[in-house]
Amino acid sequence: MGSNRRFQSGFTIVELLIVIVVIGILAAITIVAYGGIQARARDSQRQSDVRAITKALELYYTDNGRYPGGSGSTVLNAAWSTTADASWSNFATVLRPYLSRLSSDPVSTAGANPQTPVGYNYAYFSNSGGVYCGAAPYQMYILVYRFEALAPVDNLSGTCTVSPLLYASGTASNYRVSKL
């Protein structure tokens, strides 16, 4: 007696669905991990940019006995320079002897400033008049920037003991130097 059973090769629908779900989960994990890697890479670039800018500012201070003034940002106020508008190019011109290329934030957001949760720009301030933070005019500066993946960092140098110690504390990172 022969059997009427036919053997068919192939996958069942359940097996195919399991494979599709597993591939989908792996793809989602890969996309999320890739996005985090990109954000950390941009944060690393921001750290490098801030180091280069602060080094150029210290070289400027050594040659001139003061820090450069802000150049008229339309985003914050006239005492700031920011990558969100043309004032950053004025700041770049001042630092050109000390820094061949003044970087902008890797995802610079036009019209935004770094102390807001949606702004990715660099902002520079130096007091132009009066005493600020215990420092005479142009004897201090604040460099404000935002990270995407890293926690905010406040690098403070000098003897500033008056408010505001920081600019946009909590949402942005600050690099502040004051000299007396």
* Residue-level pLDDT at 131: 66
Residues 6+ apart with CB under 8 A from 33: none
* Residue-level pLDDT at 180: 58
* Residue-level pLDDT at 69: 85
Backbone angles phi, psi at 96, to 5 degrees: -55, -40
* Residue-level pLDDT at 167: 59
Tens place of pLDDT per residue across the chain (180 aa) = 555 556 677 888 999 999 999 999 999 888 877 778 888 999 999 999 999 999 999 999 999 998 888 877 777 777 777 877 788 888 899 999 999 998 888 888 777 767 677 778 888 888 777 666 667 778 888 888 888 887 777 777 766 655 555 555 566 777 777 775
Q: What is the CA radius of gyration of the chain?
A: 26
Q: Are 134 and 161 in contact (CB under 8 A)?
A: yes
* Residue-level pLDDT at 100: 92
Q: Are 95 and 89 in contact (CB under 8 A)?
A: no
Angle in degrees, CA 74, 77, 79, rounded to 5: 115
* Residue-level pLDDT at 62: 94
Q: Are 87 and 80 in contact (CB under 8 A)?
A: yes
* Residue-level pLDDT at 89: 86
* Residue-level pLDDT at 171: 65
Q: What is the 3-state secondary structure (H, E, C) of 122-175?
A: CEEECCCCCCECCECCCCEEEEEECCCCCCCCEEEECCCCCCCCCCCECCEEEE
Biggest distance spanned by C-alpha atoms of the chain: 108
* Residue-level pLDDT at 42: 92
Using CA atoms, how far residue 54 sits from 43, 44, 49, 57, 102, in Å, is: 16, 16, 9, 5, 11
